[in-house]
Structure 1
Amino acid sequence: MAEWAKRDEVKHAWKELAEENGLTQTDLVDVERVFGFLDGTLCRPAPLNFSMDKSRKLGWHGFVDST
């Protein structure tokens, strides 16, 4: 994804979308930082599962609604 995001047509499309929607960041910046994370997440050899099972077994049952 990082390589895709560096393409001129992608940068141009982002600029158009940003201007049409009144975004303050009209340039696609920090491509390696933003899309590098996505690459690492999607290109893993094994699925990454987030589970609260272990926490619950250790007694962590409560939560704080931060919305």
Structure 2
Amino acid sequence: MVSWAARPEVKQAWASLAREHRLKAFPADGDVIRIFGFLDGTLMRTAPIMLGMDKSRKLGWHGFVDSKEALLETFQDVARLKM
């Protein structure tokens, strides 16, 4: 993703989308390696990530946030902020 995002035509496409939709920020403005490097690492994992709350609950954390709802809310916030 880093090499893709660094291409001139991709940066130009981001800039065009930003102008068209009056976005306040877009990845081509910032540090491409920092922004897309995390995505590269995530997509290139060789093993699945096993996440669970058992240990946290044993230590007294009993709250709950639905991950899908939290992500949807975050994306809605980003869209509202035109980012």
Both structures adopt the same fold (TM-score exceeding 0.5): yes
Cα distance in structure 1, aligned partners of 2:27 and 2:50: 33
Q: 1:44 to 1:26 in 2, by over 3 A?
A: closer
TM-score scaled by length of structure 1: 0.77
Cα distance in structure 2, aligned partners of 1:41 and 1:26: 20
Cα distance in structure 1, aligned partners of 2:38 and 2:17: 22
Which protein has the bigger helix share?
A: 2
Give the match's secondary structure for 2:49. coil
Instruction: Specify the structure having the higher radius of gyration (Cα).
Output: 1
Q: 1:16 to 1:52 in 2, by over 3 A?
A: same
Q: State percent identity of aligned pairs.
A: 62
**Are 2:58 and 1:57 aligned?**
yes
RMSD: 2.3
Moved over 4 A (4+): none
Aligned residues: 65
TM-score scaled by length of structure 2: 0.64
Cα distance in structure 2, aligned partners of 1:59 and 1:27: 39
> How far has the Cα of 1:63 moved from its partner?
5.2
Q: 1:26 to 1:43 in 2, by over 3 A?
A: closer
Instruction: Specify which structure has the bigger relative contact order, considering alpha-carbon pairs within 8 angstroms and separated by 6 or more residues.
Output: 2
